[in-house]
Chain A
Amino acid sequence: MKKRGPQGKRESVDLSVDLGFLRLRNPVLAASGTFGYGLEFKPYINLRKLGGIVVKGLYFNPRPGNPPPRLAESPSGLINSIGLQGIGVRAFCEKVLPQLQGLDTPIIVNVCGETDEEYAAVIDYLNKDGRIAAYELNISCPNVRKEGRCPALSPDHTFSLVRLAKETSRLPLVIKLSPNVTDIVSVARAAEEAGADALSLINTLLAMAVDIETRRPRLASTFGGLSGPAIKPVALRMVCQVAASVRIPVIGMGGIMTGRDALEFLIVGAKAVEVGTANLVDPGASARIIGEIGEFCRQKKIKRIHDIVGTLKMDDSPASR
């Protein structure tokens, strides 16, 4: 990671992170659902610079998604109800993966399912492909079942689904958790006990917006998932709680727009972060954030980003209390 600036040699910072099952060149991954299949961003960003890419959620078959309007802007946030429209596993392996080959950037596939069996079927299909680094199990999308229902709302369902996925999978499993619960730690622990290799959080917060002229919901599906800077404090609190309660690595996300935002997540215990909505606003956001993290480390004379993870200073009570 040595860089030569105009003033000559700059201090090198080791930004690499080790998730145990996967080593990343830096802690910044592009979050699922905001980065397409990666290819869309090729004109704007060097994909080789990213720590990893979590591609858009895949069901077994192509999926039509929800009716529009699918988006509503809110203060410092975005409410979406895309409904996981997508191309399915076959088109992904045949058309997308060959184009991502040779990138040397880990590709993590976000796995979806209408039923537990479908999650297993997606994993089983993708297992045959040697180009995928890990799976992120999407058990937390609020936009595909009524009233935002999803497996991640229940520790029991999380446990049984993660166990099934673990039995099927040949690759490491990251479990993406929902913030729409009263006790996220119990869901996190259920996933860990069932064999999860890592956790990623948070998915979007169930939300809505109303047009007062028409008195109708702004989204065709009434409710959607809130993302963006508006949710960062909630996400940070949950990542802090979960990181203090599990042994497996935690990947933090929720409203990260800058390197400083990312550093907050690392300090509360996330080993890596995912950048989501920022990619929509600024397709070069992930690379910029990596640069900003490095610059902060240089200024503070921190040699390894690893040294900052979980260094939150508390006066007395533990974070999880």
Chain B
Amino acid sequence: MLNDPAALIIRKKIWDGYVLLELKSPRIARRAKPGQFLMVRVSDQPYPLLRRPLSIHARHEGSVEIFFARSGLGTAILADKKTGETLDILGPLGRGFSIPTAVKGKTFGLVGGGRGIAPLYFLARELQAKGGRPRVFYGGKSEADLPLLRKLASQKMEVFISTDDGSAGFPGLVTAMLEKELARSARPAQVYACGPDRMMKKIAEIAAEVKIPAQLSLEAIMGCGIGACWGCVRKMRRPGGTEWVKICEDGPVFWASEVIWDVDRRQK
């Protein structure tokens, strides 16, 4: 948890609607764990005012990567930043994915929807480093939503892709592809997922049905990212009832069994 006011952009990659930035920030890179995020200041002007929460996509010696979709005003400004510019970032923030002590030889299902693939790459690399076998389920609306396919495949991960429009891989939702795979192959030790709420809710149902523990990385509009404003809450099961729990501090990763899915109609 520290503020790096001038993390240098040392690499940039763009696709149609998606951007990857590699940021030089040795102290944050050293501390980063899969599932944690950064709060990125997109402008030194008062609009847009708030930092944007972006999960850490990869870690290298001395640097971290962020991968995001150009989805609104903040990410559009961020997408236009160039190599050689600096970003004011806070991180690494939040509680990341919990990785079991015995990973060696085990398979793990990693399910990413669209930009939700971002934290799963970091997790997959970590699992590989510990001798685990990540199987990545990567879904999008169409082939253009799967820009990281080659990157994943190049790291010798088993990758399954799906598209809603059938333009590549399994035609249909990534959750349907996951269900199909679970039915025909050995069950993974755990499922990790990040994506839109509807996908996450389905993952939670599937995991409960086949009795595999699942961890979900949730998204929320955040005010501060450090637990001070209580703006980013979601309803969670807690001893003695339910509670609005802060995504930024107690998450962003939660056990699927904790989350209560009275999905707000405002969330698309």
- Chain A residues in the interface with B (C-beta under 8 A): 33-36, 40-41, 43-44, 56, 64-65, 67-73, 75-78, 80, 82, 85, 211, 213-214, 216-218, 220, 228-230, 257, 277, 279-284
Q: What is the distance, in angstroms, from A108's C-beta to the closest C-beta of chain B?
A: 16
**Given A80-B229, A281-B49, A65:B244 Cβ within 8 A:** yes
Q: Which residue of A lies closest to B241 (CB)?
A: A64
A33 CA to B229 CA in the complex, in Å? 6
Partner of B47, one of A41, A71, A76: A76
Are A68 and B220 in touch, CB under 8 angstroms?
yes
Are A67 and B264 in touch, CB under 8 angstroms?
yes
Are B266 and A280 in touch, CB under 8 angstroms?
no
Q: Which residue of B lies closest to A40 (CB)?
A: B228
Residues of B within 8 A of A33 (CB): 229
Are B229 and A216 in touch, CB under 8 angstroms?
no
Given A65-B244, A218-B266, A281-B51, output 11 extra A-B contacts at Cβ < 8 Å.
A36-B229, A40-B226, A44-B226, A68-B244, A71-B50, A216-B265, A220-B266, A280-B223, A280-B228, A283-B90, A284-B3
B133 within 8 Å of A (CB atoms) = no
Partner of B226, one of A41, A85, A257, A277: A41
A85 CA to B235 CA in the complex, in Å? 13
B253 within 8 Å of A (CB atoms) = no
CB<8 Å pairs between A and B, sample of 16: A33-B229, A36-B226, A40-B226, A43-B1, A65-B233, A68-B234, A69-B267, A71-B50, A78-B223, A85-B233, A213-B268, A214-B268, A218-B266, A279-B224, A280-B229, A281-B51
Q: What is the distance, in angstroms, from B267's C-beta to the closest C-beta of chain A?
A: 8
The 6 closest A-B pairs by CB, nearest first: A36-B228, A280-B224, A76-B46, A71-B231, A229-B46, A43-B1
**Main SS of the interface on chain B?**
loop
For chain B, give the interface size range.
20 to 34
A82 CA to B3 CA in the complex, in Å? 25
Q: What is the distance, in angstroms, from B224's C-beta to the closest C-beta of chain A?
A: 4
A37 CA to B228 CA in the complex, in Å? 7
Partner of B221, one of A71, A77, A217, A228: A71
Are A73 and B48 in touch, CB under 8 angstroms?
yes
Q: Which residue of B lies closest to A218 (CB)?
A: B266
- The B222-268 residues at the A interface (CB cut-off 8 A) are 222-224, 226-235, 243-244, 264-268
Residues of B within 8 A of A73 (CB): 48-50, 221
Q: Which residue of A lies closest to B72 (CB)?
A: A73
Q: What is the distance, in angstroms, from A72's C-beta to the closest C-beta of chain B?
A: 8
A164 CA to B65 CA in the complex, in Å? 56
A208 CA to B100 CA in the complex, in Å? 45
Residues of A within 8 A of B268 (CB): 213-214
Residues of A within 8 A of B90 (CB): 44, 283
Partner of B50, one of A56, A65, A78, A217: A78
A282 CA to B3 CA in the complex, in Å? 9
Are B230 and A43 in touch, CB under 8 angstroms?
no
B149 within 8 Å of A (CB atoms) = no
Q: What is the distance, in angstroms, from A209's C-beta to the closest C-beta of chain B?
A: 11
